[in-house]
Structure 1
Amino acid sequence: MILGHIGARKGSKGVPGKNFRPIAGKPLIDWSLDQLFANPRIDAVVVSTDDERIYDHALAKGALDIGLRPVHLATDAAPKWGVWQHALEAGQAALGQPVTTFVDLDCTSPLRLPEDLDGALDLFAQDKPDMVMSVCEARKNPYFNLVEADETGALHVSKPLPGGVWSRQSAPKVWEHAASTYVLSADYLRRAKTIYEGRVIPFEMPPERCLDIDTPFDFRLVEMLMNDRLTEGN
């Protein structure tokens, strides 16, 4: 049993009400929620939120009734892992049967395509890790062009290698954690306390599909890209 999840907290300091704010023709949350409902491998969907409007909207679309998110998980400081654990147990109770796989789509990353979700599910099924996490190649590299100041204030490469690295192409590849798509074992989610305790492997996505909305500028940029995509599809 694969349980799909969307987390959509009511509060947002950067873009107030962003999770339900219209973008490219529908509420932001629906760009991710609709992908879960449309994927035949997702058996059921839950939405974890403290916003009654979002919750009622999700129920009307077919999400399981798990109640509003507990207050202690609805703060700025509440860890994603704890929200996931609560959603897993509440979703399993609503289903009345065991959940084996938990899938989270971040609703603030709406540029993901259905093929990205399928690719993450395929990788999880083939490799059988504890967790698959979306990433994109980092624009800056700590072995080459990320620097830190030492105790004297002088700059040095963040992760120096013997002999130095003098081109980005020769630096070890690093990724950015793209808050977009996660597939993980339900057993791992139950027993672990943080994301990286087990074997977490990367699912690489194009950077242009990993943009995350955190500021008004992000919202405008993502909306422009989404409208361009919709125009190209017509």
Structure 2
Amino acid sequence: MILGHIGARKGSKGVPGKNFRPLCGKPLIDWSLDQLLSNPRVGAVVVSTDDPQIYDHAVARGALPIGLRPAELATDAAPKWGVWQHALAAGEAAAGQPVTAFLDLDCTSPLRLDSDIDAALDLFEAERPDMVMSVCEARKNPYFNLVELNDQGGLKVSKELPGGVWSRQAAPKVWEHAASTYVVDPEYLRRAKTIYEGRVIPFEMPPERCTDIDTPFDFRLVDWMMGERLKGEHHG
């Protein structure tokens, strides 16, 4: 069984209450929740939250009742990995059957398409890695135009190669970790302490579908982008 998961903390320093704030007419979490509940490959869905309003809403929509997230997993500093481990164990117990893949959709990245989820699941099934992680090509490259201070307080390229890199095309390809879509092997999730211990492979998405909401500006931007997409679908 594929277990779909969304993590949605109550607090947010950047955008208070953002996970339940309306975006294009429905709570932000529902853009991801709808995708999990409507995907025929997803056997069950859990929402890990410390917010009773979000929890009751999710369970009413069809998520498994796993209870509120433990307090130690509800702080700013709580790592995503521990939240996932708890959600996997609670979801497996509530569903009463073993999980074959743990599919996490990030609540604050609602612009992914249904086809992105299926493509990530297909990649996981084809490659059998420890984890598939969404990425997008980075706008800046540490071999070319990301800089940091050297010991003398002057600038140097962050990642230096012999002879230097003088064009973007010549630089090794790097991606941004796009907090959007993850597929994790349950055995790896139970065993590992952090994300990158095992074989984590990239699932590349276009940058315009990876915009993550961290600030009020991001919220306005994603609301506008989603509105443009919905207008296109309406006219299409």
* Bin of the TM-score, shorter chain as denominator length: over 0.9
CA distance in 2 between counterparts of 1:39 and 1:184 reads 17
Task: Name the amino acid aligned to 1:102.
Answer: F
Residue 53 of structure 2 is aligned to residue 31 of structure 1: no
TM-score, normalised via structure 2 length = 0.98
The equivalent of 2:202 in structure 1 is 202
The equivalent of 1:182 in structure 2 is 182
The equivalent of 1:146 in structure 2 is 146
Q: Percent identity?
A: 79
Q: Which runs of 5+ in 1 are unaligned?
A: none
Query: In structure 2, the residue corresponding to 1:58 is in which secondary structure?
Result: helix
CA apart distance, 1:168 = 0.3
The equivalent of 2:124 in structure 1 is 124
Q: Residues 60-113 of structure 1, C-alpha deviation per residue, up to 9 Å, x if partnerless?
A: 110000000000000000000000000000001101111121000001000011
CA distance in 1 between counterparts of 2:64 and 2:27 reads 19
The equivalent of 1:114 in structure 2 is 114
CA distance in 1 between counterparts of 2:95 and 2:71 reads 23
Alignment of 1:1-234 (within 5 A): 1-234=1-234
Task: Name the amino acid aligned to 1:4.
Answer: G
Task: Name the amino acid aligned to 2:158.
Answer: S
Task: Name the amino acid aligned to 1:26.
Answer: K
Q: Which runs of 5+ in 2 are unaligned?
A: none
Q: Which segment is superposed worse, 155-164 or 219-228?
A: 155-164
CA apart distance, 1:148 = 1.1
Query: In structure 1, the residue corresponding to 2:120 is in which secondary structure?
Result: helix
CA distance in 2 between counterparts of 1:13 and 1:222 reads 18
Query: In structure 1, the residue corresponding to 2:68 is in which secondary structure?
Result: coil
Query: In structure 2, the residue corresponding to 1:43 is in which secondary structure?
Result: strand
Q: Residues 166-201 of structure 1, C-alpha deviation per residue, up to 9 Å, x if partnerless?
A: 110110000000000000100000000000000000
CA apart distance, 1:7 = 0.3
Task: Name the amino acid aligned to 1:126.
Answer: A
CA distance in 1 between counterparts of 2:230 and 2:95 reads 35
Q: Alpha carbon RMSD of aligned pairs, Å?
A: 0.5
CA apart distance, 1:216 = 0.2
CA distance in 2 between counterparts of 1:169 and 1:7 reads 37
Give every structure 1 segment of 4 or more consecutive aligned residues whose post-TM-superposition deviation is greater than 3 Å: none
Q: What number of residue pairs does the alignment pair up?
A: 234
